[in-house]
């Protein structure tokens, strides 16, 4: 996991509509960048819906919310539509951003060791520097922690 104080790696990935989106597109804005394991799973849906339910608060603070997983553009489109997600979801099937942010790690799932995305959230400041990093976050607690931090 990357630590606070370092430059956030830029990326260029497709959103749910197939448009290319880069972190650098959001210069002069704070970005909540969250990495999650998989669309439409219970924990990931809970986390995404919590961002949805608090989206107006982030927007009122001029913050952009971006979720990244290795799921396909089509999967993101279905996930966003089904759950009425108003924020950006980016597809990273080649793990470019996922690895750049050091969230592709060995983990245990159902008693088996394997590699996967470690649920991680970064707050990136207006200059592209990681201001705050949350690792191994709990899907149902993450947004509350961020809201408490940003006041």
* Domain that residue 36 falls in: 12-150
Is 139 a domain residue?
yes
Q: pLDDT (tens digit, 9 = 90+) per residue, 17-47?
A: 999 999 999 999 999 999 999 999 999 999 9
Is 7 a domain residue?
no
Q: What is residue 109's predicted lDDT score, i.e. its pLDDT?
A: 72
Q: Write the CATH number for 92.
A: 3.40.30.10
Q: pLDDT (tens digit, 9 = 90+) per residue, 69-102?
A: 999 999 999 999 999 999 999 999 999 999 999 9
Q: What secondary structure, in 3-state letters, does the chain show?
A: CCCCCCECCCCEEEECCCCEEEHHHHCCCEEEEEECCCCCCHHHHHHHHHHHHCHHHHHHCCEEEEEEECCCHHHHHHHHHHHCCCCEEEECCCCHHHHHCCCEEEEEECCEEEEEECCEEEEECCCCEEEEEECCCCCCCHHHHHHHHHC
Q: Is 49 assigned a catalytic role?
A: no
Q: How confident is the model at residue 111 (pLDDT cuts 50, 70, 90)?
A: confident
Q: Report the number of distinct structural domains present in the chain.
A: 1
Is 64 a domain residue?
yes
Is 4 a domain residue?
no
Is 141 a domain residue?
yes
Q: Which of 13, 44, 85, 143 is catalytic?
A: 44
């Amino acid at each position: 996991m990357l630590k606070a104080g370092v430059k956030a790696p830029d990326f260029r990935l497709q959103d749910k509509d197939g448009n290319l989106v880069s972190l650098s597109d959001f210069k002069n804005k704070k970005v909540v960048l969250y990495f999650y394991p998989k669309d439409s799973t219970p924990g990931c849906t809970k986390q995404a819906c919590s961002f949805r339910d608090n989206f107006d608060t982030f927007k009122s603070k001029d913050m952009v919310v971006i979720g990244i997983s290795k799921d396909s553009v089509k999967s993101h489109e279905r996930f966003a539509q089904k759950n009425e997600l108003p924020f950006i979801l980016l597809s990273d099937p080649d793990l470019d951003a996922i690895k750049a942010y050091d969230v592709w790690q060995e983990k245990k799932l159902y008693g088996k060791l394997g590699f996967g995305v470690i649920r991680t959230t970064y707050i990136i400041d207006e200059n592209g520097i990681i201001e705050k990093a949350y690792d191994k976050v709990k899907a149902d607690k993450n947004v509350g922690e961020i809201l408490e931090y940003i006041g």
